[in-house]
Amino acid sequence: MHGVILLAGGSGDRMGSDVKDKLLHPILETNAFRLCCNAYIGIKEISSLVIVYREKDQQKLLENEYDISRKRFHGSLDPIYVAGGSRREDSVRKGLEALPKECSFVQVHDCARPMIRTSTITEMIHEVEDKGVVVACRPASDTIRQSLETELSSDQPQKTQTLNRQSLWFMETPQATHKSWLTQALNRAKERNISITDEVSALELDDRKTAFFCLDYPNPKITNIDDLKLVEYLLKEERNIL
């Protein structure tokens, strides 16, 4: 059985005072959180859905948005709402604890990436059963340099080295794996006091191999006002195409 954890409790500190919640901020007639719900609702392979929220006031708003999606797409799944932690790994851990024991696999998605498609979610559900760890990603296309200085300063000359971009990949979400693997990896990271940035970085501690699921469409993460404008543009373009 497959479970899903939707991370909706991010602080959005970089959005500025004009945006109270980047996931609920209007994008055309919808918002980022509702777009994510639209993508996940109705997938028959998903048996459990956990939504991780920031605080009680936000939870009520998220519940309302989910109900709008459920009515539109005739969804039958009742989500489990869980208060998040101070760090991403804490929120994911709480989400894992809320999933039923019978869930063998889990897919984690950051709701700050609202352009995710149902087809991607479904294909990753099928692939993870065979490959163990599957992550949405894209190959690096820019030149990437690493600073070799102990103290970083953007306004001072630095010694650098150029990384081989053919071996570099930009990680996105969803990220899917065995629920037991991710639980074990997050516990190991906590024991070692290692801060992780995504699920794969935790799974690496147990030497798990990762299958890359390359996306052929934009899946940007909303971190600032310009990202909201980009998602609005992409949504308009997608609707024109479809």
pLDDT tens-digit series, residues 102-158? 999 999 999 999 999 999 999 999 999 999 999 999 999 999 999 898 787 777 888
Res 202: pLDDT? 98
Domains and CATH numbers, the chain: 2-241 (3.90.550.10)
Region 187-191 average pLDDT: 96
* CB atoms near residue 48 (< 10 Å): 19
- In DSSP notation, 50-86 reads EEEESSHHHHHHHHHHHHHHHHHHT----PEEEE--S
Q: What is the pLDDT of residues 44-80, one digit of tens each?
A: 999 999 999 999 999 999 999 999 999 999 999 999 9
Tell me: pLDDT of 242 over 70.
Answer: no
Q: Quick one: average pLDDT of 184-194?
A: 96
Give the HSE-up count for residue 175: Cα atoms under 13 Å, Cβ half-sphere. 20
Burial readout 90-119 (b: 16 or more C-beta within 10 A, e: otherwise): ebbbbbbebbeeebebbbbbbbbbbbbeee
Question: Do the Cβ atoms of 142 and 169 come closer than 8 Å?
Answer: no
187 class by beta-carbon count within 10 Å (0-12 exposed, 13-18 middle, 19+ buried)? middle
Which segments within the chain are labelled E, that is strand? 2-7, 46-53, 80-83, 105-110, 133-139, 145-147, 160-162, 169-178, 211-214
User: pLDDT averaged over the chain?
Assistant: 95
Q: What pLDDT, on the 0 to 100 scale, is given for residue 174?
A: 99
